[in-house]
Amino acid sequence: MLPETPQLEAFLAVATTLHFGRAAERLHVTQSTVSHRIRKLEECVGVALFDRSHRSVQLTPAGVAYLKRVSGAVRDLDRAEQDARAVGSGRQGRCVIGYSGAASCTPLLDALEAVMPALPQVQFELQRRALLEQLDAVLSGELDLGSSFLPIPGGREGLEVQAVAALPLRAWVAADHPLARAERAPLSALAQERWIVLSDRAEAGFSSFLRRRGGGGQAPPIEADALDATFDLVRRGLGITVLPATPVAPPGVRGVPLVGLPAAQLSVFWRTGPLHPLVRALIEPADRSQRGPQAQPEGDGHPEDQRQQPR
121 and 147 share a domain?
Answer: yes
179 and 161 share a domain?
Answer: no
Which of left, alpha, beta for 227 (phi over 0: left; psi -120 to 50: alpha)?
alpha
CATH (domain of 200)? 3.40.190.10
CATH (domain of 27)? 1.10.10.10
Residue after which a domain boundary falls, among 88, 113, 144: 88
Domain count, the chain: 3
9 and 158 share a domain?
Answer: no
What pLDDT was estimated at residue 293? 42
106 and 126 share a domain?
Answer: yes
255-271 mean pLDDT: 87
174 and 45 share a domain?
Answer: no
Q: β-pairing, 93-99 with 122-128?
A: parallel
12 and 67 share a domain?
Answer: yes
Residue predicted with more confidence, 170 or 117: 170
109 and 218 share a domain?
Answer: no
Domain that holds residue 248: 168-259
125 and 274 share a domain?
Answer: yes
247 and 172 share a domain?
Answer: yes
Q: Give residue-wise pLDDT tens across range 144-177.
A: 999 888 778 777 789 989 888 888 889 999 999 9
Amino acid at 69: R
Three-state DSSP string of the chain:
CCCCHHHHHHHHHHHHHCCHHHHHHHHCCCHHHHHHHHHHHHHHHCCCCEECCCCCCEECHHHHHHHHHHHHHHHHHHHHHHHHHHHHCCCCEEEEEEECHHHHCCHHHHHHHHHHHHCCCEEEEEEECCHHHHHHHHHHCCCCEEEECCCCCCCCCCEEEEEEEEECEEEEEECCCHHHHCCCEEHHHHCCCCEEEECHHHHCCHHHHHHCCCCCCCCCCEEECCHHHHHHHHHCCCCEEEEECCCCCCCCEEEEEEECCCCEEEEEEEECCCCCHHHHHHHHHHHHHHHCHHHCCCCCCCHHHHHHCCC
Q: What is the pTM of this model?
A: 0.58
145 and 289 share a domain?
Answer: yes
What pLDDT was estimated at residue 21? 92
What pLDDT was estimated at residue 197? 81
Q: Give residue-wise pLDDT tens across range 213-239.
A: 555 556 788 888 777 888 999 999 999
Residue after which a domain boundary falls, among 88, 122, 139: 88
161 and 270 share a domain?
Answer: yes
252 and 214 share a domain?
Answer: yes
Residue after which a domain boundary falls, among 37, 70, 88: 88
What pLDDT was estimated at residue 165? 80
User: Measuring CA to CA, how many Å separate 276 from each of 70, 77, 96?
Assistant: 33, 23, 11
CA atoms within 13 A on the CB side of 79: 6
